[in-house]
Amino acid sequence: TSGVGIRNAIGVETNSRGYALVPYLRPYRYNHIELQTDQLGPEIEIDNGSAQVVPARGAVIKTTFAARVVTRMVITAHTESGKPL
């Protein structure tokens, strides 16, 4: 999904293939990366929108966030006589 921001990286967002480069991570230390999940469409569901990475100096780290497309429905069921179930 394109246009999803990274909460702790101002101005960084995913491209059309869902990739983003987060600059200025601290090498050899835990860095918290969090997606702005409120920017995902209603058809996208994600289990965990945050990750911790420990990059080496000058490294590029790939972190994957498992997302899936869902179809949400509201079903109103009635009996033949019109009474709700």
Instruction: State residue 37 phi and psi, 5-degree precision.
Output: -65, -20
Looking at residue 24, what is its pLDDT?
Answer: 92
Domains of the chain, start order: 5-69 (2.60.40.2610)
CA pair distance 38, 1, nearest whole angstrom: 13
The tens digit of pLDDT for each residue in 12-67 reads 999 999 899 999 999 999 999 999 999 988 899 999 999 999 999 999 999 999 98
Q: What is the DSSP string of 55-84?
A: PPTT--------EEE--------B-TTS-B
